Chains A and B, each alone.
Chain A
């Protein structure tokens, strides 16, 4: 009985997915390589032709360092396959820092936009260009229309987009609006593990919450950068955080995700 109920739910999910996808063919996904994350994502990973939001926690919303590092690692497997366009609002991105994370910078093009609208339209243009594998942009709060345009651009050329929420010159945060992004991640720094020899700092770690994901379930983890020799996946899951941890930190947001 239980088994057939499970099967029926699976079949229904499949039909819903088919309706949502319309005539589109399913796109290949970018798995994290750890079932603790991948099982919460539809299809076992993030779709490669889609765009994702990364929101910084606290001061990160202004400085955008942890979010940039997380986005770079998230996009790294895709970035190996083509050109990367990074749309900046402030020219403070230090490229040697990307090299530290193993991000390929040979085909990186940096663009500094004058304002939010220009940045989003450059991002859209880049995502719609064949040959651009990854486009990462910094924006305060893209609205629904801009988000929908980004999604169409991704689907046209198969680009992987990331929007970093950042208030480049400070100021009060705008309330988060509804979004057309495939997923939204909230990222903050987490204390890293000490290296085995006890000297210096270990690999960088982040406290990452998947706040919403189309067809997926929210979750929260502590991730750290996996060492180069540990396979193709850029992250290593240190621990999965329980749901109550999420409720504690972001109660109102969870309601909205519902």
Chain B
């Protein structure tokens, strides 16, 4: 295979084109990031270039971050070009930290992603070793100060001023800093400097922003041979759900949301989620909820790892199976609600909840089915409200004997309705605290009438606005009574 031609990404910086990144072939010819593009092209005329796209870089890094979930659930994006994995307690699945690191880097190398990695006790030490130390270094616990001592001070993630200042004072290696008095270092280079040093050595903690919240409710299954048959996918989803449900049961807990992720050989991940209305840990039921959604999973060349996350984990007492047939009502409905929510989506299944508002379109809120009722006062059965409420009131033409009277006839959808009885008005004003005067003032007051036409059809119509106040009021049809 011919070696790659020299290649560089360009970025415009104050009107100057500079190299943002170079590949190995370009580096071998003496090019480096930060060089002017014109100089680089003079040195290497056959240099191929392309514009740097930081957003695409970021997206690619995040995709890589999601892929790394197969190694550990706690993965954080670090800067523009790094990933931090918390592998505490997961390395035994590969038979040791070195084997895990080798597997990770081999897989990346197979896709042509050049990468360096190291494992250490602290994020700071791992960062330093991956960038400035020996590739694939694995530092035994507690030995990071020894491992770091030979590295340049730039390995400490310092700010620019300190990084430039230190070599001028003859401090080139991290090991030289260990013996200096801390108080004076802090005074000279700022508190951030000593903190970085402490973080690298493990004397200070460091918070990482993991891409998904670190959760102990995580299980994975890896396969020797990649899978692709749909029935296999359903089976392994059931297997991995059974694993996590067993753990949930052992600890007396249940979860409301489960996410099964299928990792493909080429690094693409396909998440499939299942939600429960009440916390649960019934693997068979979950598998049935997941199974119909598996058609989004495109196995390609095969799935080699399946992971599962449980979210919204709550304590759940061991249920005693009751002998009498009288089941708790919500308990009996939960499987139905789960099936419907998972099939139709969350927005399509709801329980109507009262809202204390006179404005009819605001009087109903959507709550999750089986959620406890809110404290709001229930709807008043004596206030006439229509069976069908239009989302948008319909403008109608009316004829009234007197301006303030209910109409005697109106026209809706080209049909005339002669009215034989009316009831009202019920005056409903807009809620003034919701908007400015224009949107809630007297011009928005509605007078609702319940009217019946000669055929017996009952309508809810209203007049908006007041007479003698600018525009003449208009009449609207807002709903139909049964």
Q: Is B455 a contact partner of A189 (Cβ separation < 8 A)?
A: yes
Chain B residues with CB below 8 A from A188, complex form: 455-456
Least distance between B358 CB and chain A CB atoms (Å): 11
Which of B350, B352, B420 is close to A105, meaning CB atoms less than 8 Å apart? B352
Q: Are B482 and A94 in contact (CB under 8 A)?
A: no
B332 pairs with A130, CB closer than 8 A: yes
B387 touches A109 (CB 8 A): no
Asked whether A92 lies within 8 Å of B360 as measured between CB atoms, the reply is: no
Flag if B381 contacts A100 (CB, 8 Å). Answer: yes
Contact B389 A92 (CB under 8 A): yes
Asked if B351 contacts A92 (CB within 8 A), the reply is no
What is the distance, in angstroms, from B54's C-beta to the closest C-beta of chain A? 40
Interface residues of B in 370-412 (CB under 8 A from A): 373, 378-381, 383-391
**Docked complex Cα distance between A66 and B389 (Å):** 13
Are A68 and B387 touching (Cβ within 8 A)? yes
A201 touches B363 (CB 8 A): no
Instruction: Name the residue on A nearest B420 (C-beta).
Output: A191
Determine if B482 and A69 form an interchain contact, defined as CB atoms under 8 angstroms apart: yes
Q: Is A139 an interface residue (CB 8 A)?
A: no
Q: Which of B136-144, B314-322, B333-341 is the interface stretch?
A: B333-341
Assess whether B385 is in contact with A110, with CB atoms less than 8 Å apart.
Answer: no
A96 B379 Cβ-Cβ under 8 A: yes
A118 to chain B, nearest CB (A): 7
Known: A94-B386, A95-B379, A106-B373. A63 touches B480 (CB 8 A): yes
Q: Number of contacts between A and B (CB, 8 Å)?
A: 154
Measured between beta carbons, the chain A residues less than 8 angstroms from B339 are 125
Chain A residues in 8 Å Cβ range of B457: 59, 66, 189
Q: Is the CB of A64 within 8 A of B388?
A: yes
Chief secondary structure at chain A's binding surface: mixed
In the bound complex, how far is the Cα of B480 from the Cα of A94, in angstroms?
10
User: Contact: A65 with B387, CB < 8 Å?
Assistant: yes
Q: Does B349 interact with chain A (Cβ within 8 Å)?
A: yes
Contacts of B344 in A (CB 8 A): 111-114, 118, 122
Q: How large is the interface on B (under 10, 10 to 19, 20 to 34, 35 or more residues)?
A: 35 or more
Contacts of A97 in B (CB 8 A): 385-389, 479, 481-482
Q: Answer yes or no: B356 CB below 8 A from chain A CBs.
A: no
Take A122-B344, A191-B456, A201-B452 as given contacts and tell me if A69 and B373 are in contact as well, using a CB distance cutoff of 8 Å: no
Which of A94, A132, A205 interacts with B456 by CB under 8 Å?
A205
- Say yes or no: is B450 at the interface (Cβ < 8 Å to chain A): yes
What's the nearest-Cβ distance from chain A to residue B419, in Å?
A: 11
Asked if residues B391 and A66 are in contact (CB atoms below 8 Å), the reply is: no
Judge whether B369 is part of the interface by a CB distance below 8 angstroms: yes
Contact residue among B363, B383, B387, B422 (Cβ-Cβ distance under 8 Å from A93): B387
- Do A96 and B364 touch (CB < 8 A)? yes
- A33 at the binding interface (Cβ < 8 Å): no
A44 within 8 A of B: no
Which of chain A's residues have a CB closer than 8 A to the CB of B452?
191-192, 201
- Contact status B350-A65, CB under 8 Å: no
Q: Flag if A108 contacts B386 (CB, 8 Å).
A: no
B214 at the interface (CB under 8 A from A): no
Could you tell me the distance between the alpha carbons of A105 and B391 in the complex, rounded to whole angstroms? 21
Contacting residues, chain B, for A72 (C-beta < 8 A): 387, 482
Distance from A252 Cβ to chain B, minimum over Cβ atoms (Å) = 22
Chain A contact residues, CB within 8 Å of chain B: 59, 63-70, 72, 82-83, 85, 92-102, 105-114, 118, 122, 125-126, 129-132, 188-192, 194, 199-201, 204-207
What are 26 sample pairs from A and B whose C-beta atoms fall under 8 A apart? A63-B480, A65-B388, A68-B482, A83-B333, A85-B336, A93-B387, A94-B386, A94-B388, A97-B388, A97-B389, A101-B482, A107-B329, A109-B333, A109-B337, A109-B351, A112-B349, A129-B336, A130-B327, A131-B327, A189-B482, A191-B454, A192-B421, A192-B458, A200-B421, A200-B450, A201-B450
> Contacts A72-B387, A111-B348, A129-B336 given; 10 further ones with Cβ under 8 A?
A67-B482, A83-B333, A94-B364, A94-B386, A97-B482, A108-B352, A109-B337, A111-B349, A129-B333, A201-B422
The 3 closest A-B pairs by CB, nearest first: A69-B482, A131-B332, A200-B423
